[in-house]
Structure 1
Amino acid sequence: MVKELELSTNEKELIISGLKEGIRLDGRGIDDFRSLKITLGPEYGRSEVKLGDTKVLAKVSCEVARPYPDRPNEGILTLNTELSPMAFAGLEPGRPSEEEVLVSRILEKAIKINRAVDVEGLCIVANELAWSIHVDVHFLDNDGNIIDAACIAAISALSHFRRPDVTVIGEDVTIHPVDQRNPVPLSIHHTPICVTFAFFENGYCKIPFYQYSLYSFINFVLTQRLVGG
């Protein structure tokens, strides 16, 4: 579980007075985005995202597996999130926190359920062999917008990832080492983007940092799909 931190009365008053003037504690307007930096590599499928002072690392890996019986012509896509004491000072050992469960569900919906990745293209031999793609998301620093940053990290890592090439001739399946044949990118249908809004009695702000998330009475996450070349 994650213990909720409390804001002081002065911090709350500063937040509210700033919202009334359309300005946040860091000088941004209520509709302004935070600075974004995406670092890819050095290996394929590794993406580190810095959104303001929030840092998230996503790594993609793959293995050959048997397709699910009810989806014999599709590969498998799995997303895993991991909170760390570095990012969540109040993190307690035990079962996953509500925040971790929420992040996992939204990422699942944005990327997996909305089929951002072409899972049919991951099938090698129907009902027998398919690629199983794993996305591990690690939260390094938390200053709010962890869902937004996690979604960017996950989809950019998937877009950057390359799997080994495969040749199928009759019943013979050859998986080519990446040092012998160029690896193959995943087919991405669209790019999901999550945008968090924090609502207060006196207004709202877009892309709130941590203090605003603590004081808001509701946080709303909007998921959009970017399509196009």
Structure 2
Amino acid sequence: MKIFATIEARMNSSRLPGKVMMPVLNRPMIGYLIDRLKAVPSLDGIVLATTTNEVDNILVDFAKSEDIHVFRGSENDVMSRVIEAADSVDADTIVEITGDCPIIDPDLVEQTILLYKKNKADYAANSFFSSYPDGMDTQVISTASLKKSASMTSDPLDREHVSRHIVNNDQIFKHVYLIAPPSLHWPGLGLTLDEQADFDLIRTLIERLSPENPMFGCNAIIKYLQENPEILAINQNVARKDARPT
């Protein structure tokens, strides 16, 4: 089984353009995401799935400097972009990660992959049921299942949100879910990079936690925020854009 993480990222974010290249401690947000995915034992590699838009050249250049694969495809048909990215590296399984999750926990990614493999599933996720903080989202999908899904839907929402059709058709595709233990259960905690306030929170976490452990995980984040609850005010007013299938 050849497993690649696909990072869906582009510079033309509607709410915070250029967010994935915004720096903290002289490293862009996407750099932190790449570092964390490189720490996942079950991954055979990483491919940046970005667009053919010239504005994304900066992302391509950075990805190449980080020695990860790059695929450029449709800006709006993200499903086809991800499938083509998977094919470009001969991956039969993808770990779908969006660029707005820069401090994802490598251990949770690994756990989701192992759950997928153990159950011989078509789809595994830790984000379908709201349990982990928003920003720890990991979805593992067989490339064959994703191609089957793509052949069954032309709905623009399905094409934009890669796994939406698979998630809505559990009678066709075998699903398994990683549910947060009580110590990591905080679905209302927003750790995705959507707006400037999110960047400010994530920057604070990186600056405070990375000197002790650059790969600080979900447990360390929750512990720090429980001990320093005033930090939560930074992005408490950000409206979350729910991309979960409905």
TM over 0.5: no
- The normalised TM-score by structure 1 is 0.28
**In proportion to residue count, which structure has more strand?**
1
Name which one, 1 or 2, has greater alpha-carbon Rg. 1
**In proportion to residue count, which structure has more helix?**
2
- The normalised TM-score by structure 2 is 0.27
